[in-house]
């Protein structure tokens, strides 16, 4: 490839299976010369096959619950030791809504489930960055990226409380990103990706219909997981050093469309 990440070190959260964006990103980073550790919560690791990815790429897996500051501290310390230096890039690709899993409508939430969802999906991002910040674990001009979705700004009824989680996530990225940029010269961004056929995405009610609708609305069509991985590689590279505090839309143009001719034809 292009060696865009040659010699750079990182941590990747959320590589659950072959369909996940984090999985595709790990493969692309490896191709571009970067090296990293993989991590996920022990429960999530049992659901996926992260070990096969680690074996394929030749990296180590460090189990960590991203909602546990203690786990994150151990993860960061071990990553620096294994990789032989400070961190250059971090991908936060985790999210969960228990209300969605349990079929609870947005107007009938179980608030214990709600709190667990925003802790996993958003507060974990703050906890991760706070650990990295306090430990001075990032190299200057490092890059931290979290994955979001446009439901943070617009109404997608069946996305449920995950929409709130993503809005919270994006706010954390901006607020903590200011301090990380000012004090450590580290950039923090979120990427708002097209609806993507990951395990988490497919858990949303009506997902199949919506992914088809988004594809017809987008002049370039939906962005795939592999294409998102390419974008993340660029965000981790030195070519985006002054991009920070942004929610970057990676959706084939969907976000700026009112209606497309293809969709109009369905109703005429």
CATH of the domain at 46: 3.40.50.720
Is the distance from CB of 177 to CB of 189 less than 8 angstroms? yes
- 4, part of any domain: no
Number of domains in the chain: 1
The total number of residues shown for the chain amounts to 268
Containing 262, the helix (H) or strand (E) segment is helix 261-265
- 1, part of any domain: no
Provide the pLDDT for residue 132.
99
- 2, part of any domain: no
Q: What is the extent of the structural domain holding 96?
A: 9-265
Structure tokens at 231: 């974008």
- 3, part of any domain: no
What is the spatial distance between Cα 51 and Cα 60, in angstroms, rounded to a whole number? 9
- 228, part of any domain: yes
Is the distance from CB of 91 to CB of 73 less than 8 angstroms? no
Backbone angles phi, psi at 81, to 5 degrees: -70, -45
CA 154 to chain centre: 19
Q: What is the mean pLDDT of each run of 10 residues along the chain (268 residues)?
A: 95 95 98 97 87 96 97 98 98 96 96 98 98 98 98 93 98 98 98 85 69 95 97 98 98 96 91
- 42, part of any domain: yes
Considering only CA atoms, which of 215, 33, 247 is closest in space to residue 148?
A: 247
- 115, part of any domain: yes
Sheet architecture: strand order including 247-250:
35-39, 9-13, 87-92, 138-148, 187-193, 247-250
Provide the pLDDT for residue 203.
60
Provide the pLDDT for residue 46.
84
What is the spatial distance between Cα 15 and Cα 19, in angstroms, rounded to a whole number? 9
- 258, part of any domain: yes
Strands (E) across 116-214 are located at 138-148, 187-193
Provide the pLDDT for residue 198.
72
Q: Is residue 197 classed as helix, strand or coil in its secondary structure?
A: coil
User: What does each C-alpha distance from 94 to 34, 184, 212, 217, 241 come to in angstroms?
Assistant: 21, 24, 24, 27, 24
Provide the pLDDT for residue 155.
94
Is the distance from CB of 237 to CB of 189 less than 8 angstroms? no
What is the spatial distance between Cα 19 and Cα 198, in angstroms, rounded to a whole number? 5
Provide the pLDDT for residue 202.
59
Residue matched to tokens 């034809």: 265
What is the spatial distance between Cα 75 and Cα 92, in angstroms, rounded to a whole number? 14
What angle, 0 to 180 degrees and rounded to 10, lies between the N-to-C axes of helices 225-236 and 21-31?
50
């Amino acid at each position: 490839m292009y060696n865009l990440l040659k010699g750079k070190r990182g941590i990747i959260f959320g590589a659950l299976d072959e369909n996940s964006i984090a999985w595709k990103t790990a493969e692309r980073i490896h191709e571009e010369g970067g090296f990293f550790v993989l991590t996920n919560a022990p429960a999530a690791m049992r659901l996926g096959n992260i070990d096969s990815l680690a074996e394929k790429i030749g990296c180590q897996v460090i189990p960590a619950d991203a909602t546990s500051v203690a786990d994150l501290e151990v993860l960061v310390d071990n990553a620096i030791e294994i990789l032989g230096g400070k961190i250059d890039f971090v991908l936060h690709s985790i999210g969960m809504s228990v209300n969605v899993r349990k079929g609870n409508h947005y107007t009938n939430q179980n608030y214990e489930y709600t709190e667990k969802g925003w802790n996993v999906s958003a507060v974990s991002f703050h906890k991760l960055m706070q650990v990295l910040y306090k430990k001075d674990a990032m190299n200057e001009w490092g890059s931290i990226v979290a994955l979001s979705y446009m439901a943070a700004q617009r109404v997608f009824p069946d996305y449920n409380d995950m929409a709130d989680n993503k809005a919270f996530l994006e706010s954390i990225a901006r607020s903590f990103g200011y301090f990380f940029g000012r004090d450590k010269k580290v950039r923090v961004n979120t990427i708002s990706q097209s609806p993507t056929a990951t395990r988490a995405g497919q858990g949303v009610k009506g997902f199949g219909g919506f992914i088809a609708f988004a594809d017809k609305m987008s002049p370039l069509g939906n962005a795939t997981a592999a294409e998102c991985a390419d974008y993340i590689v660029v965000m981790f590279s030195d070519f985006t050093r002054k991009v920070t505090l942004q929610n970057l839309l990676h959706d084939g143009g969907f976000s700026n469309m009112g209606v497309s001719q293809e969709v109009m034809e369905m109703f005429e």
